[in-house]
Amino acid sequence: MGTWSGEPFGNDVAADFAWELDEQKRWNVVRDALREALRSKELLDADTACIAIAAAEVVAHGLGRPTQTDAYTESVEAFVGRARKPSGRLTKAALRAVAIASSPEGELAELWAEGDAQEWHDANSRLVSALTRM
């Protein structure tokens, strides 16, 4: 997995996920990504965790509280411009998915432990704050 930052769309897997939002008008792609993380009976592999965190960032964008706004989130911004505001249920699912995806025992956390883990932890903390703000 190519990674250039700890932000939600700071890796190849998440950037590819953003392309799945092109032409979408409903939250199905995001909901499916969050459900995959929430239904897992085991710790998430790194790719699934990256997608779950990216999907949660899409929800934050839909709420008007993005934590990352740059060239990597242009597809996200276009999507939220076409879609309705995310439901409270979807927001809660996003929050739970971030907790699972960023678990210290997970594969993604292990990979970040080899680099600048603080950057990744800080980005996840900002995302959690954005999803919990009322």
Q: What are the tens digits of pLDDT across the range 91-131?
A: 999 999 999 999 999 999 999 998 889 999 999 999 999 99
pLDDT at res. 1 = 55
Residue with token string 């700071």: 10
pLDDT for 39-61, tens place per residue?
Answer: 988 889 999 999 999 999 999 99
pLDDT for 63-82, tens place per residue?
Answer: 999 999 999 999 999 999 99
- Beta bridge pairs of residue 3: 11
Written as one string, the DSSP assignment of 75-127 is HHHHHHHHSPPPPHHHHHHHHHHHHHHT-TTSHHHHHHHTS-HHHHHHHHHHH
Enter the pTM of the model: 0.96
